[in-house]
Amino acid sequence: MLALCQQALALRCGPPMLSTARPTPEPAAAAAADGGAVLQGEAAKQWLAERGIVRHDMAPQDHDRAGYRSEPVRPKVGGDMPDGPRPGWFHVPAPGGSETRYAELKESLEARRADAGGTKLATVCEEAQCPNIGECWNGGTATIMLLGDTCTRGCKFCAVKTDAAPEPPDETEPWNTADAVANWGVDYIVLTSVDRDASPTAGQRPELRVECLVSDFAGDAAAVRTLARSGLDVFAHNVETVERLQPMVRDRRASYAQSLSVLRRAKDFGNCDGRRVYTKTSIMLGLGETAEEVLRTMRDLREADVDVLTFGQYLRPTERHLAVVEYVTPEQFDYFRREG
């Protein structure tokens, strides 16, 4: 499992560091293949160590797990927040002055919105109040939100506007999106969407890598197949949290099992005709999950053949959203990175 445990204020939308996982060989089978005897116990561990391989079931166990929670907690809307100020490791610099790349992209985006007659080309960076917008835009990464700026679901962690009956999607959005992909000036672009049926469109820039961060399509396998085979590089769908907390954190129409199924199907559908599609997901921490629940989620994702996993600290957008149960330390993020 490639786990990119990021000490971020919110889930990062940036480009993943892709890696092909190497399956860990069984020492007995591998030794036999080398013409040797079947190895067991300490001899098997030594055989693995000589080849730079560490198996989870043979690695020393970190029982304190960097002080991560062991007792489960239920997060609440309007609940008590952790005592004291927000830890310093979650503070990031402001986007920057007029000479920064952030300022250039901001000016370019506003110009494109004006050229489109005032039509709002939405970015999740702005609509979700992401505190990482300065770092991402200064680094040439941005996320366009398709099908408008209003979602039909009401997850208790998200700052994006919600409405059971939003206005119809802008008919010119596909052209505005393609123009932004081709000419906005970013190096890596993520296409996400509010919860409606989506059909992302990218411009003709072969050197540009495209990640689509999508909903669960209500479990529609045909929609997953269409997107996975559309030519994208990374199919991203977030499970958001551990299984126990799903009904408390996500909209009732989402589920842990459905999200795992979407990720598994995306890999099966996308890997065809000589192409490889990478799958990616993200989890918020600090909502009362235990270390064991996080590790169990990591195992489930590995079984679903997910390539990239990112972690982020949950931050409450408003008092109408779930309270933060705790702030996760850099050492705890690093613990999960090592376990991954």
Tokens, residue 307: 């390539």
- From residue 218, alpha-carbon distances to 195, 215, 246 in Å are 9, 8, 15
The answer to whether 245 and 239 are in contact (CB under 8 A) is no
The answer to whether 75 and 287 are in contact (CB under 8 A) is yes
Q: Dihedral of the CA atoms 151, 153, 159, 163 (nearest 10)? A: 60
Please state, in angstroms and rounded to a whole number, the distance separating the CA atoms of residues 207 and 200.
18
Nearest to 71 by CA among 289, 310, 325: 289
Tokens, residue 146: 């398709």
For residue 313, give the H/E element and its range: strand 308-313
Does 125 count as an annotated binding residue?
Answer: yes
Q: What distance separates the 2 farthest-apart alpha carbons in the chain? A: 74
Does 272 count as an annotated binding residue?
Answer: no
H helix runs in the chain, sequence order: 27-33, 41-50, 101-115, 124-127, 133-138, 173-183, 221-228, 246-249, 256-270, 291-303, 330-339
Q: Which amino acid is at 280?
A: K
The answer to whether 311 and 283 are in contact (CB under 8 A) is yes
Please state, in angstroms and rounded to a whole number, the distance separating the CA atoms of residues 208 and 187.
7
Residues linked to residue 189 through DSSP beta bridges, in sequence order: 142, 210
Does 212 count as an annotated binding residue?
Answer: no
The answer to whether 259 and 239 are in contact (CB under 8 A) is yes
Tokens, residue 66: 């960097």
* Binding residue ranges for [4Fe-4S] cluster: 125, 130, 136, 151, 155, 158
* Binding residue ranges: 125, 130, 136, 151, 155, 158
